[in-house]
Amino acid sequence: MYSFDPTEEQQMLMDAVKKYAENDLRPAAHEAEETSELPKKLVNKGWELGLLQASIPESYGGFGERSAVTGALAIEEMAFGDLAGTLAVMTPSLFATPILLAGSEEQKKEYLPKIVAGEWSPFTAALIEYTFDFDPNELRTTATLQGDHYILNGEKAFVPFARGAESILVYANLDGQSQAFIVGKETEGLSIGEEREKLMSLNALQMYRVKLENVKVSVANRLGGASGCDFDMLLASMRIANAATAVGVANAAFEYSMNYAKEREAFGVKIAQKQAIAFMLAEMRTEIEAMRLLTWSAAWKLDQGREDAANEAYLASTGAADMAMMVTDRAVQILGGHGYIRDHPVEMWMRNGRGFAMFTGLAII
């Protein structure tokens, strides 16, 4: 059957996340972006909503079951509040979710209970590299097997909360395949940039460059152990998260500019009464819906273990990135000169909007 209704439980979760997004994340977003600081309390409050915890079974200290659909629904709502805040709240998932999905039994036992117990704690992952044509399937960071160890070499970019992270899940190229390796903070050869990354947006999210020079990782610390992990499936989960957050940000920009257009007067009418504005809004709404559905479909396929899930996740992520750029650009346009001024959030969303073409790896559901 086709069906488009979230379950009651999903709806309750979405409502709770939406409340946090509107009452906490959104009001803090501007200052966070301007000062490059996210209040710890804010992040903790988001953490307490329990998105990650609810995706982990009781046997590992959580209280639920992982569902990509639920994850996509929730993270869209959160990104509607603020993207940087969302990525910060969800950073521990970058480490925990791959362990849950592809880790060995020992890895799950060792890390999951620790991460989900208590407060938000910095566990993270490093996927992105600093090249113009970055391709998660052709990583330049390498892993080579030497006896009972892997040796990692390379450099990673945009690693959230790398400074202070207990452990980092590092993605590297092992014989042409992308695989992941657990690297503890004290490991020799691991160095984390002193300075935070400076990007066009996401100022509030601490991100760092991470260098790996002959970093030794035991076979037991390869994600999934000696047999490794299904990277395609992990990448699909990241792409769905990317698509869902793109939809959330686009929806924020759409709603804000629509409300503005209903208030702003020019030439004796509300500008929303002009077709040039109304048609933009209609198209924004339509394209948001299109990419939301494609994201849901990819998530559903992933949950079902469908063969075409990875491809649909790629389509959703690519399409949602385009859509978010288009929608956020128009939102600024609808506010006219005021859209260009940082007092309104639309220009930040537009800066976010361009990022979804390369944000894959900053979130996972």
Partner 1 sequence: MPIEFEAPKPITNAQFVLKTVAEEMMRPKSRYFDEHEHEIPWDYIEFMHNAMKAMGGSSLAPKENGNGNDTEKEKRPPIGYQLIAAQLEALSWGDVGMYHCLPGGGLGAAAVHSAGTAEQRAKFLSRFSGDKPTFAAMCITEAGAGSDNSAIRTRAVLDEKTNEWVINGEKIFVTGGDKSFTEYEKLGRGFIVVWASIDPSAGRAGMRAFVVEGGTPGVRVVKLEHKMGIRVSDTAAISLVDARVPFENIMGSPTVEKNMSGFKKAMATFDATRPLVAATGVGVARAALEFLKEKLAESGVQIRYGLPRQKLTSIERDVIDMEIQLRSAWLMVIKATWMADNKKPNALEASMSKVKSGDVTTRITQKVVEILGPLGYSREFLAEKWFRDAKITDIYEGTGQINRLVVARQILGYSGAELR
Ligand X SMILES: Cc1cc2nc3c(=O)[nH]c(=O)nc-3n(C[C@H](O)[C@H](O)[C@H](O)COP(=O)(O)OP(=O)(O)OC[C@H]3O[C@@H](n4cnc5c(N)ncnc54)[C@H](O)[C@@H]3O)c2cc1C
SS3 of residue 6 by DSSP: coil
Task: Select the residue interacting with ligand X from 132, 176, 337, 343 (CB under 6 A).
Answer: 337
For residue 340, state whether it binds ligand X (rule: CB under 6 A). yes
For residue 4, state whether it binds partner 1 (rule: CB under 8 A). yes
Considering only residues 123 through 142, tell me which ones interact with partner 1, judged by CB under 8 A. 132-135, 137
Which residues lie across from 156 on neighbouring strands?
210
CB 263 within 8 A of CB 269: no
Q: How far is the CB of 29 from ligand X (least distance, A)?
A: 21
In the block, tokens 């992952």 appear at 125
Q: Which two tokens stand for residue 113?
A: 């209970």
Is residue 31 within a helix (H) or strand (E), and if so which, with residue range? helix 26-35
Using CB under 8 A, which of the segments 43-51, 86-94, 187-195, 276-284 binds partner 1? 276-284
Q: Which two tokens stand for residue 24?
A: 């906490």
Q: Which does 297 bind (CB under 5 to 8 A by kind): partner 1, ligand X, none?
A: partner 1
- With CB under 8 A as the rule, give the number of residues binding partner 1: 49
Cα dihedral across residues 353, 336, 262, 34: positive or negative: positive
Burial 123-140 (b: 16+ CB within 10 A, else e): bbbbbbbeeeebebeebe
Task: Select the residue interacting with partner 1 from 120, 231, 300, 359 (CB under 8 A).
Answer: 300
Considering only residues 236 through 265, tell me which ones interact with ligand X, judged by CB under 6 A. 264
Measured from the CB atom, the residue of 256 and 314 that comes closer to ligand X is 256
| CA distance linking residue 248 with residue 43, whole number of Å | 18
Q: Which does 266 bind (CB under 5 to 8 A by kind): ligand X, partner 1, none?
A: ligand X
Q: How many CB atoms are located within 10 Å of the residue 282 CB?
A: 11
- Rg of the Cα atoms in the chain: 20
Using CB under 8 A, which of the segments 88-96, 116-124, 211-219, 303-311 binds partner 1? 303-311
Q: How many CB atoms are located within 10 Å of the residue 39 CB?
A: 14
Measured from the CB atom, the residue of 287 and 329 that comes closer to ligand X is 329
**β-strand 142-146 against 124-126: which pairing, if any?**
unpaired
| CA distance linking residue 283 with residue 331, whole number of Å | 12
Using CB under 8 A, which of the segments 35-43, 91-99, 118-126, 288-296 binds partner 1? 288-296
Q: Which two tokens stand for residue 52?
A: 């990650």
For residue 271, state whether it binds ligand X (rule: CB under 6 A). yes
Residues of the shown chain interacting with partner 1 in the complex, contacts defined by CB under 8 A: 1-7, 10, 69, 73, 132-135, 137, 258, 261-262, 272-273, 275, 278-279, 281-283, 285-287, 289-291, 293-294, 296-297, 300-301, 304, 310-312, 314-316, 318-319, 322, 357
Residues of the shown chain interacting with ligand X in the complex, contacts defined by CB under 6 A: 264, 266-267, 271, 274-277, 333-334, 336-338, 340
